[in-house]
C-alpha cells in the first residue's frame, strides 16, 4: 500500500506534464474452480481540472436480439437486430454524478455510456425506434447476467490531484482481453486519456476443460456422452445391489 501511495505522489509531481496518469492494481485476473469474483483498484493523478470517467470493457462479441410475437396462438420469433463488437463486460466509474457530466459528440464514438457501448462505437446518434428498443432489451439482458453494471461506481479523490476507483468483477466474467480506459473531460472535451490492458484467463482443471471444449469440440462431446453413460450405468448398478 505504501508503494502504491508513493507511486501516486510521484505521478502527481510537477515534472509530469501529462494531464492524466493512471494505472491498475493488477493486470491479470485468474479464474479457477473457487473463483467468486474480483475487485481491482484503479488509481492515478490528474494534472488538470476536469471530470474523471473510467470505462472497463471486456472482450468484444456479436449478439442477436430477437423479438417474439404471438401468431396463431403461439409465440414465435418475428424480428431481430444484430449488434456487432459488443463488449462482453462493461463497467464505469465517474468522479461525480454521471448525468451531471457534460457530454459531447465524442462519447458515442468512444463507446462511453452503457447504451453507447452497444453501438459498436460507430453511431453518432442515439438509436431510436425499433433499434432503440432492441438496444435497451440487450442492455437489460446483460445486466441480468451481471455482465453490465447498473450504475457507475464512484471515483474518489485524495486532495485535488490523486484519485482512485474500485471496480468489481462478477464470478461469471468472460475470459479474454479487457481494457481499463481513464478519461479526463472538461466541458465535454477530452483533455487526457490513458488505456491499460487487463488479461482474464482460466487456470487448473477448468482451463483444461475449457480448452478441450473449444479446440476439440467433437472429441469433447464424445467423451462427455461416454462419461454420462458410464455415470448412469454406475448409479443403476449401485441401486441394483441395494
If asked whether residues 38 and 141 sit together in one domain, one would say yes
Q: Residue 1 pLDDT more than 50?
A: no
Q: Per-residue confidence at 80, pLDDT binned at 50, 70, 90? A: confident
Q: Quote the domain boundaries for residue 169.
A: 2-201
Write the CATH number for 71.
2.60.40.1930
If asked whether residues 178 and 226 sit together in one domain, one would say no
Q: pLDDT value at position 225?
A: 65
Q: Residue 212 pLDDT more than 60?
A: no
Q: pLDDT value at position 66?
A: 84
pTM for the full predicted model: 0.75
37: left (phi over 0), alpha (psi -120 to 50) or beta: left
CB 108 within 8 A of CB 126: yes
Strand partners, 55: 92, 181
Q: Per-residue confidence at 217, pLDDT binned at 50, 70, 90? A: low
If asked whether residues 112 and 13 sit together in one domain, one would say yes
If asked whether residues 107 and 42 sit together in one domain, one would say yes
Segment 84-110 shows an average pLDDT of 91
Q: pLDDT value at position 194?
A: 92
Q: pLDDT value at position 201?
A: 82
If asked whether residues 167 and 228 sit together in one domain, one would say no
If asked whether residues 172 and 98 sit together in one domain, one would say yes
The three grid cell numbers given for residue 160, joined into one nine-digit string: 485535488
The chain-wide mean pLDDT, for the chain, equals 80
If asked whether residues 235 and 211 sit together in one domain, one would say yes
Q: What pLDDT digit, counting tens, does each position of 114-153 carry?
A: 999 988 655 446 676 788 888 999 999 999 999 999 999 9
Q: What pLDDT digit, counting tens, does each position of 14-68 carry?
A: 444 588 999 999 899 988 878 889 999 999 999 889 999 999 999 999 988 888 7
- Got the DSSP string for 20-56? EEEEES-SEEEE-TT---EEEEEEEEESS-SEEEEEE
Domain count of the fold of the chain: 2
If asked whether residues 123 and 8 sit together in one domain, one would say yes
If asked whether residues 179 and 234 sit together in one domain, one would say no
Q: What pLDDT digit, counting tens, does each position of 177-206 carry?
A: 999 999 999 988 889 999 999 999 876 545
Amino acid at each position: 500500500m505504501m508503494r502504491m501511495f508513493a507511486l501516486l505522489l510521484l505521478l502527481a509531481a510537477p515534472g509530469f506534464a501529462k494531464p492524466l496518469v493512471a494505472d491498475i492494481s493488477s493486470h491479470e485476473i485468474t479464474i479457477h474452480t473457487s473463483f467468486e469474483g474480483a475487485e481491482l483498484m484503479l488509481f492515478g493523478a490528474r494534472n488538470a481540472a476536469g471530470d474523471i470517467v473510467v470505462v472497463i470493457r471486456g472482450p468484444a462479441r456479436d449478439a442477436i436480439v430477437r423479438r417474439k410475437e404471438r401468431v396463431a396462438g403461439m409465440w414465435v420469433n418475428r424480428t431481430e437486430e444484430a449488434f456487432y463488437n459488443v463488449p462482453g463486460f462493461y463497467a464505469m466509474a465517474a468522479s461525480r454524478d454521471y448525468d451531471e457530466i457534460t457530454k459531447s459528440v465524442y462519447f458515442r464514438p468512444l463507446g462511453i455510456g452503457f447504451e453507447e457501448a452497444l453501438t459498436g462505437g460507430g453511431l453518432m446518434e442515439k438509436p431510436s425506434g425499433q433499434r432503440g428498443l432492441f438496444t435497451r432489451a440487450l442492455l437489460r439482458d446483460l445486466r441480468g447476467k451481471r455482465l453490465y453494471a447498473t450504475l457507475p461506481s464512484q471515483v474518489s479523490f485524495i486532495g485535488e490531484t490523486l484519485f482512485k476507483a474500485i471496480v468489481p468483477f462478477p464470478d461469471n466474467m468472460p475470459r479474454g482481453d479487457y481494457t481499463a480506459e481513464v478519461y479526463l473531460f472538461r466541458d465535454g472535451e477530452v483533455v487526457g486519456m490513458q488505456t491499460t490492458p487487463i488479461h482474464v484467463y482460466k487456470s487448473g482443471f477448468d482451463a483444461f476443460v475449457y480448452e478441450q471444449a473449444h479446440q476439440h469440440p467433437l472429441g469433447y462431446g464424445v467423451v462427455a456422452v461416454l462419461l454420462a453413460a458410464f455415470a448412469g450405468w454406475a448409479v443403476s448398478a449401485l441401486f441394483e445391489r441395494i
